[in-house]
């Protein structure tokens, strides 16, 4: 199955309402168009630490496997990005290990 697409909301100087959070797709993964100006707000709504894994197109930051895994502790929201298209591709693919991770995407 293809990854579930998430759209980014454009930030503005006059203020932008954050998009509704979307539960990560544990089965198919998620994807977002990536122009190097996308950031993801990832909230862990659960009681246990959860993991989000970003797909890379090349080895990034000394990682030997083409992925970057990050932990989000219970009840916390982390901001990830921006993601260089040279390293992460024109479409950023990411996977969550549990639907308790919700995602909001903002283009800055």
pLDDT digit string, tens, across residues 65-106:
688 999 999 999 999 999 999 989 999 999 999 999 999 999
Quote the pLDDT of residue 22: 96
CA 75 centroid distance within chain:
17
Percent of the chain surpassing pLDDT 70: 96
Mean pLDDT of the chain: 94
Could you tell me if 90 and 55 are in contact, meaning their C-beta atoms sit under 8 angstroms apart? no
pTM of the predicted structure, to 2 decimals: 0.91
What number of other Cβ atoms are within 10 A of residue 14's Cβ? Answer: 5
User: What pLDDT does residue 64 have?
Assistant: 67
């Amino acid at each position: 199955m293809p990854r579930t697409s998430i759209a980014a909301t454009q930030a503005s100087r006059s203020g932008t309402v954050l998009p509704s959070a979307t539960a990560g797709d544990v089965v198919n993964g998620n994807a977002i168009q990536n122009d190097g100006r996308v950031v993801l707000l990832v909230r862990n709504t659960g009681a246990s630490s959860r993991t989000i894994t970003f797909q890379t197109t090349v080895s990034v930051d000394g990682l030997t496997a083409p992925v970057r895994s990050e932990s989000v502790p219970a009840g916390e929201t982390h901001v990830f990005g921006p993601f260089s298209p040279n390293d992460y591709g024109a479409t950023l693919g990411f996977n969550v290990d549990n639907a308790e991770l919700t995602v909001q995407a903002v283009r800055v």
